Amino acid sequence: MNAWEWGALIIGGGLGAGARYLLDGWIMRGRSGAFPVGVLIVNIIGSFLLGLLAGIPHLSPAWLAIVGTGVLGGFTTFSSVAVETALLAQRRRRDWAWINLVGTFVVCLAAAALGLTIGGLFPR
């Protein structure tokens, strides 16, 4: 990566993290202690978009890194899934904890696969 691409990746990470904060906050407004649906939605969107980008055959590796690793890496968050799952278990909502953990994995995997499939439809 050249200096411009490296800088774009760093800025993209900040933009992705900011977008995650805003979207999660908007979804979860007024829902303290509830199921972390905001983080789930963020991760589904991010998984789909990363799959879509990775499936596009003519996307340059630099742009995949900038948008995929930078923007979408900042946008999605496995650490929040882990913490939210642990908090649900601590609050004795083990059913929600398992749904969050397994559901996030399954739905995000499906979203990524869908994105890869759609991305693969782009002509070479």
pLDDT digits (tens, 9 = 90+) for 107-118: 999 999 999 999
Phi-psi region of 76 (alpha: psi -120 to 50; beta: other; left: phi over 0): beta
Q: What's the rounded Cα separation, in Å, for the pair 113 and 68?
A: 15
Question: Is the separation of the CB atoms in 52 and 115 below 8 Å?
Answer: yes
Question: Is the separation of the CB atoms in 25 and 38 below 8 Å?
Answer: yes
Identify the pLDDT of residue 34: 80
Q: What's the rounded Cα separation, in Å, for the pair 85 and 111?
A: 20
pTM assigned to the model: 0.92
pLDDT digits (tens, 9 = 90+) for 42-96: 999 999 999 999 999 888 999 999 999 999 999 999 999 999 999 999 999 999 9
User: Whose CA is closest to 43, among 63, 70, 62, 23?
Assistant: 23
pLDDT digits (tens, 9 = 90+) for 86-95: 999 999 999 9
